[in-house]
Amino acid sequence: MPFPAAPLPASYRRRPREMFGGRSKPAAAPAAAANGGVVVPRNFYLLEELEKFEKGAAGNGMVSAGLTDPEDIFLTRWSCSIIGPQGTAFDNRFYSLTVVCTDQYPHAPPVVTFQSRINHASVNQSTGELDVRDVLKPGAWESLTPQPTIEALLTKIRDSMTSQKNRSKQQPPDDATF
């Protein structure tokens, strides 16, 4: 049987503010976004995206992604793939890409570099780096719906392969790399 709690002497019954010499601070509130919402940390977005790809809930089988290094706690470097759309010069080809999410992600697009050689109007033919802003024309990174994600970007890149300026471009051999 527990002992009943004895009342505290008056000297111990202080309000929290008095206990620390009047210097108590209120609990920190979550950071607010410019539009009044709560700012979600970058890693939360990336963890959610990683989980979707790992469970097969993202990409519809045509795009895939995962961490380059499973020990990367900052979720920065991703190995991705795109299967080219049918009825184009990219038909059933497998393209490997590296996606690097900077500290600005998801507010700024990641850096995308093709590992597989590809003839695409938005890809630098010396380095394999994709001009993300060019692929997203006329929209912008922020206009990807429902929110900008690696999956949405990979899907947009795949869709750009069907555009008039890309669909008929002669492609290099399957095993060619940058």
Entry pTM: 0.76
- Give me the pLDDT at residue 28, please: 39
What letter would DSSP give residue 123? B
Whether the per-residue pLDDT at 107 is higher than 90: the answer is: no
Q: What tokens appear for 31 in the block?
A: 């950071």
Q: Do the beta carbons of residue 38 and residue 31 sit within 8 Å? A: yes
Residue from 122, 126, 71, 132 nearest 100 by CA: 132
| pLDDT tens for each residue of 110-134 | 999 999 999 999 999 999 999 998 8
Confidence of residue 3 (pLDDT cuts 50, 70, 90): low
How far is residue 33's CA from residue 57's CA, in Å, rounded to a whole number? 29
Residue 148 pLDDT: 86
- Helix%, strand%, coil% for the chain, nearest 5: 25, 15, 60
- Higher pLDDT: 130 or 42? It is 130
pLDDT at residue 67 greater than cutoff 60: yes
**Model confidence over 130-170: pLDDT tens digits?**
999 888 876 677 777 667 899 999 999 999 999 999 999 99
Over residues 22-40, the mean pLDDT reads: 53
Q: What percent of the chain is modeled with pLDDT above 70?
A: 77
Summarize pLDDT for 73-99 with one digit per residue, the tens.
Answer: 999 999 999 999 999 999 989 999 999
**Which residues, listed in sequence order, are joined to residue 78 by a DSSP beta bridge?**
67, 99
Residue 30 has pLDDT above 50, yes or no: no
The per-residue b/e assignment along 46-68, b for 16 or more CB within 10 angstroms, e otherwise, is: beebbebbeeeebbeeebbbebe
Q: Who's near 124: CB < 8 A, 6+ residues apart?
A: 130, 131
